[in-house]
Chains A and B, each alone.
Chain A
């Protein structure tokens, strides 16, 4: 599955699973850009069906609810939802 890479300051591997239609996902994406952290994101709703299912299972491994936005840092730390302060503390 192809992710969009946004270059910036390296703070580990930062991956954002988002929906292209979601307001909170848009805010999270804008926040990552504002912080200037190196990250990748994917709009799960835009993926072809097979990749969508695979990616959804990937999201569910990090966040059993399978909700968006799901932010994963270094494959371990998971932040679900637009939690501005938590994201700033983790990546700022």
Chain B
């Protein structure tokens, strides 16, 4: 697979957007700017390759439905920030890590393995749903819940797209 050329200016532009969005949402980018810019480069490479910003530290399939959970910000960012103070690729760090300037470490992978994901998909397909007046949808990025016929086009809390919602009830 070819490696798309990404310019420094493109990295600058995306870095600024990600940094602004992170701060507005109460999140923080990793203060190690050189490391973080390298991750932004990886995100831009993946965006060119796949059409979406798949996590730079995970292997994407190119099949969007299978990669949804690792589109940045991934489904695992918040639990990893809670447990380790950083997300898996370390693009995002917690306020505590930022304040203490503590080193950020490589953390264990929370995403289930390919075999586990396959099994979960099969179980989900056969699982029953509780009957409620409206279906309840959950944003897999931030946990926002809403009871409507369909999930919103964009999560009103974290701005994740509709495709990141799952049926909760």
Taking Cβ atoms with an 8 Å cutoff, the residues of A that contact B are: 19-27, 44-48, 52, 56, 60, 64-68, 80-83
Q: How far is the CB of A22 from chain B (nearest CB, A)?
A: 4
Can you name 30 A-B residue pairings with CB atoms under 8 Å? A19-B42, A19-B58, A20-B45, A21-B43, A22-B56, A22-B89, A23-B39, A23-B42, A23-B57, A23-B89, A23-B90, A24-B89, A24-B90, A44-B59, A45-B1, A46-B3, A47-B1, A56-B114, A60-B113, A64-B115, A65-B109, A65-B113, A67-B58, A68-B58, A68-B59, A81-B106, A81-B108, A82-B105, A82-B106, A83-B106
Q: Are A21 and B57 in contact (CB under 8 A)?
A: yes
Expressed in whole angstroms, the Cα–Cα distance for A30 and B94 within the complex equals: 26
Query: Which single member of A23, A44, A66, A67 contacts B35 (CB below 8 Å)?
Result: A23
Contacts A45-B1, A81-B106 given; does A19 touch B57 at CB 8 Å: yes
Q: How many A-B residue pairs have CB under 8 A?
A: 69
For chain B, the count of residues having a C-beta within 8 Å of the partner chain is 26
Q: How far is the CB of A55 from chain B (nearest CB, A)?
A: 10
Contacts of B45 in A (CB 8 A): 20-21
For B39, give the chain A residue with the smallest CB separation: A23
Contacts of B150 in A (CB 8 A): none
Expressed in whole angstroms, the Cα–Cα distance for A86 and B26 within the complex equals: 34
Contacts of B115 in A (CB 8 A): 64
For B37, give the chain A residue with the smallest CB separation: A23
Q: How far is the CB of A53 from chain B (nearest CB, A)?
A: 10
Contacts of A26 in B (CB 8 A): 38
Q: Is B138 close to A, CB under 8 A?
A: no
Q: Is B157 close to A, CB under 8 A?
A: no
Expressed in whole angstroms, the Cα–Cα distance for A82 and B46 within the complex equals: 21
